[in-house]
């Protein structure tokens, strides 16, 4: 008791939250203290085993979830998202953004809608992929959305999350035609970029968003593939630079052209790969070599990446596979002045990046 009384309350809270994170596997430490919530943007990369589910909680208290992970596994991904939402103090997700209609992004919608209140679904409109599996996933999504509010968006639109700015850069295969930021100069990386193949899948129709809070900027292009990336990066980079890059497509080598990745000049990248999904050595190298990059954090060790193409284990939320995979996440607290802190909920490792 004496020891506790003499301990700084903040330290106690930190120890408590850290312990919660370690036991629940999903929450984060001190930086998520209540007082901080009011003045920072929180971002939670939920582990959905190689799919995407990223929860943004604005300082206003409004929330936006980008994608919902997979269906099945007894609602595993929906349960993980709801657990993280609870940790963040979110009782209702104001916007659920569905980047595209592939299973690892839209599949969790029915299970999620049963477990938490959802304000508005945001998507790019009808499915345009000619495949049975995607038609089936889109139909399951429609069955939920028909009873909910829905917003179909196009490039140039804004998702009106109070307290942050969410710009739509791409949707349904289209892209913004004018510069959101950056310079008038041509992107010198375009000339050496190989011509990418056409992509007739839903990946190429991904919603791509730029999230801004103060001078902090985050880019998340869903599973956008190379040809569409180049629409944003060449001949001029329409995006400008960002602080945090969500590595597209879980690190699959169908995405992440050097012309885009290096041009956006991210300080930190987060890859939502699975142990055996995404995490390609080629993409890892492109991101790793990006000018100005300080660190790459990953949800999983990439088996394909081996010793050469993974970050140090401290930067990986889930180094093991199967029974060794406990579904830990990566959390970010971003401030108005552009500084941000990244936290690995497995080991409590946190690092602050100054502007």
Nearest approach, Cβ of 347 to Zn ion (angstroms)?
Answer: 26
Give the Cβ contact number of residue 6 at 10 Å: 7
Within 13 Å of residue 94, how many CA atoms lie on the same side as its CB?
15
**Distance from first CA to last CA of the chain, Å, rounded?**
41
Nearer to Zn ion, 28 or 278 (CB): 278
Nearest approach, Cβ of 203 to Zn ion (angstroms)?
Answer: 7
Nearer to Zn ion, 123 or 223 (CB): 223
Which one among 94, 199, 223, 272 touches Zn ion, defined by CB under 5 A?
223
Nearer to Zn ion, 106 or 242 (CB): 106
Nearer to Zn ion, 17 or 98 (CB): 98
What are the E-state strand segments in the chain?
40-45, 54-57, 63-66, 92-97, 117-123, 149-152, 158-159, 165-171, 174-175, 208-213, 216-220, 244-246, 268-271, 295-300, 316-318, 330-335, 340-344, 350-353
Instruction: Tell me how far the alpha carbon of residue 43 is from its chain's centroid.
Output: 8
Cα 349 from Cα 298, distance rounded (Å): 13
Nearer to Zn ion, 274 or 327 (CB): 274
Structure tokens that stand for 151 in this block: 């917003």
String marking each residue 181-200 x if it binds Zn ion according to CB under 5 A: --------------------
Can you say whether residue 67 is alpha, beta or left, with left for phi > 0 and alpha for psi between -120 and 50 degrees?
left
Contacts of 136 (CB under 8 A, 6+ apart): none
Nearest approach, Cβ of 88 to Zn ion (angstroms)?
Answer: 23
Q: Which of residues 141-180 bind Zn ion (CB under 5 A)?
A: none
Nearest approach, Cβ of 101 to Zn ion (angstroms)?
Answer: 11
Give the Cβ contact number of residue 345 at 10 Å: 31
Nearer to Zn ion, 217 or 250 (CB): 250
* Tokens 């049963």 -> residue: 114
Nearer to Zn ion, 104 or 304 (CB): 104
Q: Which one of 83-91, 151-159, 175-183, 215-223 is the stretch in contact with Zn ion (CB under 5 A)?
A: 215-223
Nearest approach, Cβ of 68 to Zn ion (angstroms)?
Answer: 11
Nearer to Zn ion, 47 or 223 (CB): 223
The SS3 of residue 346 is coil
Q: Which one of 56-64, 168-176, 221-229, 327-335 is the stretch in contact with Zn ion (CB under 5 A)?
A: 221-229
Q: Which one of 69-77, 126-134, 223-231, 299-307 is the stretch in contact with Zn ion (CB under 5 A)?
A: 223-231
Nearest approach, Cβ of 196 to Zn ion (angstroms)?
Answer: 18
Cα 98 from Cα 223, distance rounded (Å): 11
Nearest approach, Cβ of 301 to Zn ion (angstroms)?
Answer: 18
Cis check: omega of the bond before 235, within 30 degrees of 0: yes
Nearest approach, Cβ of 317 to Zn ion (angstroms)?
Answer: 17
Nearer to Zn ion, 53 or 263 (CB): 53
* Tokens 């103090």 -> residue: 89
Nearest approach, Cβ of 99 to Zn ion (angstroms)?
Answer: 8
Tell how strand 63-66 and strand 350-353 pair up. Answer: unpaired
Q: Which of residues 85-104 bind Zn ion (CB under 5 A)?
A: 104
Number of amino acids touching Zn ion (CB under 5 A) = 2
Q: Which one of 116-124, 129-137, 216-224, 339-347 is the stretch in contact with Zn ion (CB under 5 A)?
A: 216-224
The residues that touch Zn ion, with contacts defined as CB under 5 A, are: 104, 223
């Amino acid at each position: 008791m004496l020891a506790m009384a003499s301990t700084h309350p903040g330290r106690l809270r930190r120890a408590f939250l850290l312990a919660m994170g370690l036991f629940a596997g999903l929450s984060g430490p001190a930086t998520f203290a209540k007082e901080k919530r009011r003045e920072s943007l929180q971002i939670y990369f939920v582990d959905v085993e190689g799919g995407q589910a990223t929860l943004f909680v604005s300082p206003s208290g409004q929330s936006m979830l980008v994608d919902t992970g997979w269906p099945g596994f007894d609602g595993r991904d929906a349960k993980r998202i709801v657990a993280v939402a609870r940790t963040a103090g979110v009782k209702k997700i104001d916007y659920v953004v569905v980047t595209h209609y592939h299973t690892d992004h839209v599949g969790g919608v029915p299970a999620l809608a049963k477990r938490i209140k959802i304000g508005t679904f945001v998507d790019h409109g009808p499915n345009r992929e000619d495949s049975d599996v995607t038609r089936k996933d889109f139909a399951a999504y429609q069955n939920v959305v028909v009873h909910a509010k829905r917003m179909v968006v196009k490039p140039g639109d804004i998702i009106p999350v109070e307290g942050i700015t969410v710009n739509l850069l791409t949707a349904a295969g289209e892209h913004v035609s004018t510069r959101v930021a950056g310079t008038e100069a041509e992107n010198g990386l375009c000339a050496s970029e190989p011509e990418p193949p056409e992509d007739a899948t839903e990946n190429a129709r991904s919603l791509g968003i730029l999230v801004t809070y103060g001078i902090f900027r985050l880019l998340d292009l869903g599973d956008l593939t190379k040809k569409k990336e180049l629409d944003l990066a060449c001949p001029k980079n329409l995006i400008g630079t960002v602080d945090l890059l969500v590595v597209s497509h879980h690190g699959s080598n169908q995405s992440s052209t050097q012309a885009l990745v290096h041009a956006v000049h991210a300080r930190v990248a987060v890859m939502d790969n699975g142990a055996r999904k995404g995490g390609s050595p080629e993409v890892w190298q492109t991101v790793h070599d990006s000018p100005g990059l300080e660190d790459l954090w990953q949800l999983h060790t990439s088996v394909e990446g081996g010793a050469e193409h993974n970050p140090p284990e401290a930067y990986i939320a889930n180094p093991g596979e199967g029974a060794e995979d406990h579904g830990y996440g990566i959390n970010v607290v971003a401030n108005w002045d552009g500084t941000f802190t990244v936290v690995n909920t497995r080991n409590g490792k946190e690092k602050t990046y100054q502007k």
